[in-house]
Amino acid sequence: MNCSELRDHYELYALGLAEEPERDEIRAHLDRGCEVCMSEMRRARELLTLVGGSAVPAAPSRKLRRRILASVGVDQRGFGWTPLFAGLSALLLAAALYFAGREGDYSRQVETLTARSRAQIIELTRLNEAFALMNGADTTVTTFGEKKPVPKGKLFYNPSKGALLIASNLPQAPAGKAYELWLIPKTKGAPPIRDGMFQSDSGGTAMRLIPGPIDANTTAAIAVTMEVDAGVDAPTSPILIFAPLAPALQ
């Protein structure tokens, strides 16, 4: 076989998955110092390193995962994070293998994979921070919305790590709208402090992490309103969620 006929098999060879006769052909080309095959193998290994090294493992314990799910009464199937990211990694690898041999699409595919991998890393980092906060020795929990149909959930608060708001029965915001999160000061008459925008998923569930120290001596609660998706400096709509910080820390 010539190098052109082997172009779709270099990545499989790098993974140890190439079949005969392509495996022996590539080995023979490399043994005789074929410059084309040596260059293709370097490219294949670089691509596999990029894809394989981009995902940060995240393996929360079953106990911790159950604690998250039980906090808002959501079916565990709705929060299968580890299988989700494992599947995503497999899809990224499959895409890389399929397109790697097409020189015209190579650069575009690498850029796409890199962007997706970065997004995956950000999400995994966010989940790891949430798990660490929930497992913190100083973390306390406040329940909200128990006697109301929507929304309901819990606020996990840790003085040094921040707060984690988990809500269910939170309808998706209409077009042009989003949920805005606020820190409510204890000082009477002090304005709420905005802390970013977020959306609920298609199942009406949302998880919002507020990283960094939060002083319970100055902050009374976490609140949520629905605003224009660009955000506002002060609430313009009714408060949908009001979650006090843990009473023991107030």
| Span 192-232, pLDDT tens digits | 999 999 999 888 888 888 888 999 899 999 999 999 999 99
Q: Tell me the C-alpha distance between 168 and 126, whole Å.
A: 19
Query: 116 and 18: one domain?
Result: yes
pLDDT in tens, 142-157: 888 876 677 888 899 9
Domain shared by 73 and 37, yes or no = yes
48 and 77, same domain (yes or no) = yes
Cβ atoms of residues 240 and 225 within 8 Å = yes
Domain end call among 87, 115, 135: 135
Do 59 and 93 have their domain in common?
Answer: yes
Cite the DSSP H helix spans in 60-197: 62-72, 81-99, 103-135
Domain of residue 179 covers 140-249
Same domain membership, residue 214 and residue 149: yes
Residue 198: helix, strand or coil by DSSP? strand
- Answer yes or no: do 86 and 128 share one domain: yes
Look up the pTM and report it: 0.56
H helices of the chain, where? 10-15, 22-31, 35-54, 62-72, 81-99, 103-135
In tens, the pLDDT along 133-186 reads: 888 888 888 888 876 677 888 899 999 889 999 988 888 999 999 999 999 999
Q: Are residues 129 and 155 in the same domain?
A: no
Select from 135, 155, 182 the last residue of a domain. Answer: 135
Query: What is the pLDDT, as a whole number, of residue 22?
Result: 85
How far is residue 83's CA from residue 65's CA, in Å, rounded to a whole number? Answer: 13
On whether both 99 and 156 belong to a single domain, the answer is no
Q: What is the CATH number of the domain that holds 185?
A: 2.60.40
Domain count, the chain: 2
Residue 21's pLDDT is 85
- Regarding predicted confidence, which is higher, 239 or 5? 239
Query: How confident is the model over 6-37, as pLDDT tens digits?
Result: 777 777 777 666 778 888 888 888 888 888 88
